[in-house]
Amino acid sequence: MTVEEVSQIDAVGLVLAYTVVGVLFWTFVDQLPRDVYWFCLLEMNLSDKLVYLVIVLILPPCCMTSFRLRFVAAKYGSVLYSLALACLLIRQADKAEVNLIVSCIGLAALLMAKFSLWSFVANISPLSADKSCSLVTFSASGIALGQLMVQWLRWGGKSLNPLVPGNANVLVSALVCWVPIFGVCCWLFHRRTLFALDEAKSQHGKRSKIHLVLGLFGLPMLLFVTQWLFSFPTTISRWIGASTAWSWLILLANSAGAIVAQAFSGPTTSCLLALGLLLFGLFPQAILSNPSMELQLVGAAVMVFTVPTLWMDLPSAVFQLLTTQRSLAEANPSAVASEIDLCNELSNDDNTITDKPSIAPPSSPGSMLCGTVFFVLLLYINAVALTIVLTCYDYLPEEMRSLRGQRYPLLYVAIGILCLAHAALTLHSPFQWRSIHSIRLWTCAILTVAVVCPVAVLRLGVYETPGSIDPPPSVHGITSDIRIFSFNVYQGFNRAGLNNFEPILHAIQDFNPHVIALQESDSMQSGSGANDFTDFLAVSLGMYSYAVPRTDQDSFGCSLLSTFPIDLSRTLGTILPSPNGENACMQHVTLQVNSNSTLAVVNVHLGNDLMAEKQLQLDAIVAKVLSIGNGTSPLVLVGDFNTRKYTDQYANFVAKSSLTDAGESTKCHASYNNSGGPPIEYIFFRGVTCIQFDFPHTYSQYETADSYPRIGHFNFTRE
């Protein structure tokens, strides 16, 4: 086998280049579900526009059918990477349908380049004497390190990926992300001559069909689990309802896993993943009546520690199994011979591609690769779709609604398959120190200096810490003891289908509230792109945050932020009775406003459900309100009730709860025009004096959300 060695500097440069491509890849992987979900959310139905997903499902498999197409896509992958970058920049268009189309095209282009390169794992020329370095191993390392860098970049970007237009300042995105990516694409195009093929030699021997089946299920589960649990450092914290301060544990575990990747044997890594799953979910949920968050966090850290190794092992192992010469020759010997000859011709840069036959003869290996890639993508898309619809009660058939709030069984299945696949395909892979390990160590060192340290400084030294900002006593000429801002934030979307984080932040800053209550705020769901809205506001405003019910409970989400410390021992986040409809949420937080005054704040979001189910939820809220302070202590109840004013349900609720509607109080000056029809979102109170109730209609819903905020100004004196 011919060995064209590259210097260590060149090798590190190639791994860095593929890491940049990996960042681009994970940007599309995180963004596509959000673009898909927007149409479901917009139409409250499964939109016919989901047909665009066929682009992702069909184009990469079609590329696998022809040896010529695979060869060109692998050698000139830099062109496909540039196409993906162009698709990312086109996202500046205001039309969500355009964004979905270009997301599909961009991800399809990246997958074609990656799958095509990996399909030559059995006969690509090595780039080091010990044969551990090749473009395939560099590409796999880039995927793993790219996922880690996306975590760090999003940590510095307040959970938003700075590659996506509109998430950060244009100049920052251009200088930090877009220009470097384009430069990397140009450099990879210049180094395309490194892609060369030799006679394939089996490294694993003949494997049984069970290995192939496990590989076909394991690869999509690896992509699915990585995106589902580890797309952002606070994902685990939101899943189990822990403090986001624990996110450092996830970041450090992922970083450590990248540094020592493949330092253990294959089965050892699989056992570590299984142990992490046991600690994170299976043991606490099945045995402990009150699961320990610390135990779950340790389990999550162990799992994320194995992710880089899984990405460096599994794709290569699966495609090695599919494309070794032994298996190809058994399938179609004449096709193998013709492909090797064609490879030699195409590898000669003096010959132009257009002089060759238009397409290679169909072969059984090509069909196998096509079928494999199609199955991998189909399984991945269906897994992601299932996690999206778990929060969308209208989309689930009656027999599947019991799955709402039951994500752990899905997690057990996905990671269980992944453990079995990795253990089977890497059974005879003992650790040996090779040149690829030292190259990755140098790469990690460079990334630490260039990315990790600046992001850590930004997060710790620039962004606001909880309690660091004290709102002024007066806003817009109104002086009050406490201001409460309530808003249904539409899961991070505006009516244009774009990100609404910044516009809502500006709306909040216009009123400088002490307390912020959000509904439909769980933007950590797959369909919302795992953009942590609550964390974004907390670090922007210097506020304490509470985001329970947990993400795994499949509600649209309730969040509360406060300038006053939140004592978790005096909080409650729960799912209201929801036998058929949406998993409605309720929060109760007691705030120590000053040495003499405490205030109970209850935040709710009810669904668009039948009257009978809505009544169950309203009755539960009344019971909770009456149980707080014997029904007389200072309390403010806010939220989206999806119950119209002046209906019998509204009147009965007000009578039973003994609360006053701020929009109806004669002593609470209302600064709004109620011409928009009966409201469904309210601020109720007792034991305090309402000074003013704001309901501004000045914020465009094509920038903020599908409703308007409500702001209550209160004093700690009784009316």
**pLDDT above 90: residue 717:** no
For residue 136, what pLDDT is reported? 95
Digit-coded pLDDT (tens) for 691-716: 999 999 899 998 999 899 999 999 98
Amino acid at position 159, single letter: S
Q: What is the CATH number of domain 8-458?
A: 1.20.1250
**pLDDT above 50: residue 351:** no
**pLDDT above 70: residue 186:** yes
Contact 313, 266 (CB under 8 A): yes
Instruction: Specify the long-range contacts of residues 88-96, CB closer than 8 Å, at least 24 apart.
Output: 88/24, 88/27, 88/28, 88/163, 88/164, 88/165, 88/178, 89/165, 89/178, 91/164, 91/165, 91/166, 92/165, 92/166, 94/496, 94/498, 96/35, 96/38, 96/39, 96/42, 96/496, 96/497, 96/498
Phi, psi of 572 (to 5 degrees): -150, 130
**pLDDT above 50: residue 452:** yes
CATH 3.60.10.10 domain span(s) along the chain: 474-715
CATH topology of domain 474-715: Deoxyribonuclease I; Chain A (3.60.10)
**pLDDT above 60: residue 76:** yes
Is pLDDT larger for residue 613 or for residue 43? 613
Residues 6+ apart with CB under 8 A from 654: 661, 684
CA–CA separation, 250 and 304 (whole Å):
7
**pLDDT above 80: residue 291:** no
Of the chain, the percentage scoring pLDDT greater than 90 comes to: 59
How large is the greatest C-alpha to C-alpha distance in the chain, in angstroms?
Answer: 91
Looking only at the bridges linking them, the beta strands covering 669-671 and 689-694 are parallel
CATH 1.20.1250 domain span(s) along the chain: 8-458
Secondary structure of 195-258 in HEC code, one letter for each residue: CCECCCCCCCCCCCHHHHHHHHHHHHHHHHHHHHHHCCCCHHHHHHCCCHHHHHHHHHHHHHHH
Digit-coded pLDDT (tens) for 601-649: 999 999 876 677 889 999 999 999 999 988 889 999 999 999 998 899 9
Instruction: Say if residue 160 is exposed, middle or buried (CB neighbours under 10 Å; 0-12, 13-18, 19+).
Output: buried
Q: What is the mean pLDDT of the chain?
A: 87
Digit-coded pLDDT (tens) for 100-147: 899 999 999 999 999 999 999 988 999 998 888 999 999 999 999 999
CA–CA separation, 113 and 105 (whole Å):
12
**pLDDT above 50: residue 354:** no
Q: In what order do the strands lie in the sheet with 515-519?
A: 544-546, 558-562, 515-519, 482-488, 710-715, 689-694, 669-671
36-40, 187-191, 450-454, 688-692: least confident range: 36-40
**pLDDT above 50: residue 220:** yes
For residue 46, what pLDDT is reported? 61
Is pLDDT larger for residue 668 or for residue 226? 226
